[in-house]
């Protein structure tokens, strides 16, 4: 972590951007690549986040992985002025009132409450997509119609842990979505409030656990889709950006169903695909985010595997058993590095693993091998430390 003892400026005065999220290492890395000095507030305070940031401030959590809004307001009041740009990552979509309060006091660079409502309120989004003629699964507030298989989801949920087969929703804050059969891909795009620039497609996969069959596993890309599907997704994104006023980096989760596609979710913020795409030949994505929020879209073609030179992947490694972090050093393909001594419970994310290869299959094989190797080393180091 950098020391400020010789720096006459406090981190607050020296920072170019404040980044807030449940886990903000990806955005911290994006800030570094964009040449911006970042003050980072997140729940984990991982070692690499601290190295990437000018300063990393731990936030208090409520429940499993939610930011305590009261603590966030307090920390931001101490660490961020009204003029410094604030970029939000994951963790705010289920609480638009928090974003509203932040927007009133700070210079948010990203989507505000009206756009969050259009994209994250399932019934509003379904109506918008219907009006625009964009294919999407049907959604229901409480019951599934007879004969239709549905998934229950939490409004504004992320990380897939909240998605389960169900024919009745548990009530306020939850909804049902028609279950589709197909392959899940994600489109990374920029919006300027009127038009979209489709940047790249990635393949996404789940890492099911006993009680979370759709828990997020990872993503790899770039991948190509059928050219006619790519074109129809690009024009659908233009229409959605214009109708919902989306600005900045965002992603759309899609299912490829037989010979068509369907839009299942919009994430109106920079997300996990930064790990996959914030590399050459794309320019620094956080810079593009700032420009798009000012209305400027870059003149970039859809990223192809040929132009990227490789397929990159990032997978979340969830703890098979509880253990204490005692392995030092960690391999260089590990990100979100928990500080030494951190206790990690069964099923919690330990870290993110990176791999690259010729195609998604090769990337996923390497990720699986690395996970097994790392687990052996982590559990051995943890056992040794306990002796
Ligand atoms: N309507 C659906 N039909 C089939 N599978 C789905 C559907 N919606 C979500 N899924 C699966 O669940 C995963 C997570 O869903 P998503 O809505 O993207 O949740 P999150 O916001 O937590 O990422 C998807 O990647 C996909 O594998
Ligand atoms: Mg998703």
Whole-Å CA distances, 69 to 25, 99, 240, 250:
20, 10, 29, 23
Same domain, 59 and 81: yes
Among 109, 131, 165, the domain boundary falls at: 109
Cα separation, 346 vs 351, in Å, equals: 13
Domain presence at residue 157: yes
Residue 152, ligand 1, Cβ within 6 A: no
Residues 167-210 pLDDT 10s? 999 999 999 999 999 999 999 999 999 999 999 999 999 999 99
How many A from CA of 16 to the centre of ligand 2? 29
Residues 308-328 pLDDT 10s? 999 999 999 999 999 999 999
Q: What confidence category does residue 14 fall into, taking pLDDT thresholds of 50, 70 and 90?
A: confident
How many A from CA of 162 to the centre of ligand 1? 9
Average pLDDT for 139-146: 95
Cα separation, 304 vs 283, in Å, equals: 15
Among 260, 276, 308, the domain boundary falls at: 308
Same domain, 198 and 327: no
For residue 2, the model assigns a pLDDT of: 41
CB of 144 closer than 8 Å to CB of 168: yes
The pairing of beta strand 55-58 with beta strand 38-42 = parallel
Same domain, 171 and 278: yes
Whole-Å CA distances, 197 to 126, 219, 287:
22, 20, 14
Is residue 12 scored above 90 in pLDDT? Answer: no
Ligand 1 atom closest to the CA of 265, numbered from 1? 17
Cα separation, 9 vs 75, in Å, equals: 18
Q: What is the DSSP string of 18-65?
A: EEE-SS-HHHHHHHHHTT--EEEEESS--HHHHHHSSEEEEPPEETTT
How many A from CA of 160 to the centre of ligand 2? 6
For residue 81, the model assigns a pLDDT of: 83
Domain presence at residue 162: yes
For residue 96, the model assigns a pLDDT of: 87
Residues 223-249 pLDDT 10s? 999 999 999 999 999 999 999 999 999
Cα separation, 107 vs 188, in Å, equals: 24
Among 88, 109, 130, the domain boundary falls at: 109
Same domain, 379 and 294: no
Residues 187-196 pLDDT 10s? 999 999 999 9
For residue 16, the model assigns a pLDDT of: 96
For residue 9, the model assigns a pLDDT of: 54
How many A from CA of 180 to the centre of ligand 1? 9
CB of 38 closer than 8 Å to CB of 18: yes
Cα 104 to chain centroid, rounded: 24
Domain presence at residue 6: no
Residue of the nearest CA to atom 8 in ligand 1? 264
For residue 4, the model assigns a pLDDT of: 39
Q: Which ligand approaches the C-alpha of residue 255 most closely?
A: 1
Same domain, 181 and 296: yes
Same domain, 44 and 100: yes
Q: In sequence order, which residues have a C-beta less than 8 Å from that of residue 270 and are 6 or more positions away? A: 26, 27, 30, 87, 89, 248, 249, 250, 285, 286, 289
For residue 3, the model assigns a pLDDT of: 39
Is residue 296 scored above 60 in pLDDT? Answer: yes
Average pLDDT for 74-90: 92
Best residue among 157, 166, 184, 204 to mutate for probing ligand 1's pocket (most ligand atoms within 8 Å of CB) is 184
Closest CA to 187 of 152, 154, 235, 143: 235
Residue 336, ligand 1, Cβ within 6 A: no
Domain presence at residue 122: yes
Closest CA to 247 of 118, 122, 112: 112
Same domain, 252 and 151: yes
State which residues form the domain around 281. 116-308
Looking at the DSSP bridge assignments, the partners of residue 335 are 352
Lookup: tokens for 321 = 């058993």
Q: What confidence category does residue 1 fall into, taking pLDDT thresholds of 50, 70 and 90?
A: very low
For residue 6, the model assigns a pLDDT of: 42
Lookup: tokens for 145 = 């119609």
Residue 214, ligand 1, Cβ within 6 A: yes
How many A from CA of 89 to the centre of ligand 1? 19
Counting beta carbons within 10 angstroms of the beta carbon of residue 255, is it exposed (0 to 12), middle (13 to 18) or buried (19 or more)?
Answer: buried
Residue of the nearest CA to atom 25 in ligand 1? 184
Ligand 1 atom closest to the CA of 206, numbered from 1? 27
Residue 230, ligand 1, Cβ within 6 A: no
Same domain, 244 and 346: no
How many A from CA of 179 to the centre of ligand 1? 9
Q: In sequence order, which residues have a C-beta less than 8 Å from that of residue 192 and are 6 or more positions away? A: 241, 247, 292, 293, 295, 296, 297
The pairing of beta strand 85-88 with beta strand 107-108 = parallel
CB of 360 closer than 8 Å to CB of 220: yes
Cα separation, 185 vs 168, in Å, equals: 27
Lookup: tokens for 202 = 């990635």
Question: Which residue, chain included where needed, has tokens 């590399």?
Answer: 279
Residue 137, ligand 1, Cβ within 6 A: yes
Domain presence at residue 5: no
Same domain, 274 and 315: no
Same domain, 263 and 141: yes
Domain presence at residue 4: no
Domain presence at residue 327: yes
The answer to whether the peptide bond before residue 222 is cis (omega within 30 degrees of 0) is yes
CB of 254 closer than 8 Å to CB of 182: no
Closest CA to 39 of 75, 92, 74: 75
How many A from CA of 50 to the centre of ligand 1? 31
Average pLDDT value over all residues in the chain:
94
Cα 366 to chain centroid, rounded: 22
How many A from CA of 214 to the centre of ligand 1? 7
For residue 11, the model assigns a pLDDT of: 65
For residue 203, the model assigns a pLDDT of: 98
Domain presence at residue 241: yes
Same domain, 146 and 280: yes
Assign residue 88 the CATH number of its domain.
Answer: 3.40.50.20
Same domain, 160 and 26: no
Ligand 1 atom closest to the CA of 186, numbered from 1? 25
Residues 327-359 pLDDT 10s? 999 999 999 999 999 999 999 999 999 999 999
Q: Which ligand approaches the C-alpha of residue 119 most closely?
A: 1
Total tally of structural domains belonging to the chain: 3
Average pLDDT for 348-377: 98
């Amino acid at each position: 972590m950098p020391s400020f003892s010789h720096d006459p400026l406090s981190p607050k005065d020296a920072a170019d951007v404040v980044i807030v999220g449940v886990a903000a290492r990806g955005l911290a890395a994006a800030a570094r690549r964009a040449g911006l000095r970042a003050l980072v507030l997140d729940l984990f305070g991982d070692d690499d986040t601290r190295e990437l940031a000018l300063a990393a401030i731990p936030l208090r959590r409520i429940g499993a992985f939610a930011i305590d809004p009261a603590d966030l307001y307090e920390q931001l009041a101490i660490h961020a002025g009204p003029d410094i740009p604030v970029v939000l990552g994951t963790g705010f979509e289920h609480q638009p009132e928090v974003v509203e309060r932040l927007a009133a006091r700070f210079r948010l660079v990203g989507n505000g409450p009206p756009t969050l409502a259009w994209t994250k309120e399932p019934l509003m989004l379904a109506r918008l997509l219907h009006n625009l003629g964009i294919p999407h699964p049907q959604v229901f507030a409480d019951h599934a119609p007879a004969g239709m298989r549905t998934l229950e989801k939490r409004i504004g949920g992320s990380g897939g842990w909240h998605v389960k087969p169900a024919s009745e929703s548990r009530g306020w804050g939850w909804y049902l979505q028609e279950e589709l059969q197909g392959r899940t891909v994600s489109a990374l795009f920029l919006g300027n409030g009127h038009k979209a620039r489709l940047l790249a497609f990635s393949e996404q996969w789940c890492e099911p656990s006993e009680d979370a069959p759709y828990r997020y596993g990872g993503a790899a890309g770039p991948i190509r889709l059928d050219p006619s599907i790519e074109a129809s997704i690009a024009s659908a994104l233009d229409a959605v950006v214009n109708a919902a006023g989306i600005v900045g980096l965002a992603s759309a989760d899609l299912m490829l169903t037989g010979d068509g596609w369907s839009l299942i979710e919009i994430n109106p913020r920079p997300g996990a695909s930064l790990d996959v795409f914030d590399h050459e030949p794309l320019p620094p994505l956080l810079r593009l985010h700032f420009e798009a929020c000012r209305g400027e879209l870059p003149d970039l073609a859809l990223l192809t595997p040929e132009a990227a030179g490789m397929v990159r992947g990032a997978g979340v490694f969830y703890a098979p058993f509880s253990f204490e972090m005692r392995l030092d050093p960690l391999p260089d393909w590990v990100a979100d590095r928990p500080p030494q001594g951190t206790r990690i419970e069964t099923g919690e994310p330990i870290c993110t693993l990176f791999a690259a290869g010729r195609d998604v299959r090769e990337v996923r094989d390497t990720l699986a091998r690395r996970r097994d190797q790392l687990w052996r080393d982590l559990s051995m180091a943890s056992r040794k430390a306990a002796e």
